[in-house]
Amino acid sequence: MAVDDTTLNKTLWKIPNALCLLGSRAGDTWNGMTQSWVTQVSMEPVLLAAAVDTKALTNRLVREGGAFSINLWPRDDTRVFVKFSKPAKKEGMTLNGRPIREGITGVPVFEEAAVFFECRLWRIVECGTHDLFLGEVVDAGFGPYGEEVEVARMEDTRMKYGGVRRGGH
Ligand SMILES: Cc1cc2nc3c(=O)[nH]c(=O)nc-3n(C[C@H](O)[C@H](O)[C@H](O)COP(=O)(O)O)c2cc1C
């Protein structure tokens, strides 16, 4: 490696990313997780890619459930991302107190999402610390804020994700 870890971290953290919630479910276990590594990777089929830590509960749920949702969030409500960085608590049709509905693939879709996508798992690429889940979009839409809504990005918060591996990654 021609670069030190500090420089690698600082440079990688400059990559602009969305900040959203990834919904997953296997049977009675439902989860939502703070996710920043998400992007479109194909037009036909329409595919979204999300890289998920191999150690996360979400990783198992996506593999077992065969689907996931991507929930872009209103830009002025970034507090949500703090709570969803550990397994979420389900009470009725809420996760960490945020209302959900069951999507057409069975995964949770957040009622407060600014924009949602539902994806059926298409391929998995094992990348190292993370698995890249490629999902074919089977449903998508806007939430209660309409089409002009601005969505949250990493730079709206003081959070960071990625860079080089630390203990536990
Ligand atoms: C700002 C932020 C962005 C994150 N982005 C990702 C991500 O893109 N992929 C990922 O696997 N974990 C990401 N995480 C970590 C997960 O949210 C956290 O490890 C997770 O809740 C564990 O997953 P689990 O609830 O499925 O066990 C991020 C955390 C934060 C705070």
Nearest ligand 1 atom to the CA of 160 is 1
What is the helix (H) or strand (E) element at residue 30, kind and residue range?
strand 29-35
pLDDT score of 103? 98
**Which residue reads 């608590």 in tokens?**
89
pLDDT score of 166? 82
pLDDT score of 169? 61
- Is residue 85 a contact partner of residue 19, using CB atoms and an 8 Å limit? no
The rounded distance, in Å, linking the Cα atoms of 108 and 2 is 43
- Is residue 22 a contact partner of residue 58, using CB atoms and an 8 Å limit? yes
Nearest ligand 1 atom to the CA of 34 is 17
Ligand 1 centroid, distance to 34 Cα (angstroms): 5
pLDDT score of 99? 98
**Pocket residue to mutate for ligand 1, from 13, 34, 159, most atoms within 8 A of Cβ:** 34
The rounded distance, in Å, linking the Cα atoms of 32 and 67 is 13
The rounded distance, in Å, linking the Cα atoms of 127 and 23 is 21
Pick the residue whose CA is nearest to atom 20 on ligand 1.
85
Q: Is 30 in the pocket of ligand 1 (CB under 6 A)?
A: no
Query: For 40-66, b where at least 16 C-beta lie within 10 A, e where not — what string?
Result: eeeeeeebbbbbbbeebbbbbbbeebb
Q: Is 81 in the pocket of ligand 1 (CB under 6 A)?
A: yes
pLDDT score of 167? 65
Q: Is 129 in the pocket of ligand 1 (CB under 6 A)?
A: no
Query: Residue 83: CB partners within 8 Å, gap ≥ 6?
Result: 96
Q: Is 54 in the pocket of ligand 1 (CB under 6 A)?
A: no
Nearest to 58 by CA among 84, 22, 94: 22
pLDDT score of 168? 56
Domains of the chain, first to last: 18-156 (2.30.110.10)
Task: Walk along the chain (169 residues) in steps of 10 and give the mean pLDDT of each run.
Answer: 95 97 98 98 98 98 98 97 96 98 98 98 98 98 97 96 82
Ligand 1 centroid, distance to 85 Cα (angstroms): 5
Nearest to 22 by CA among 132, 164, 159, 166: 132
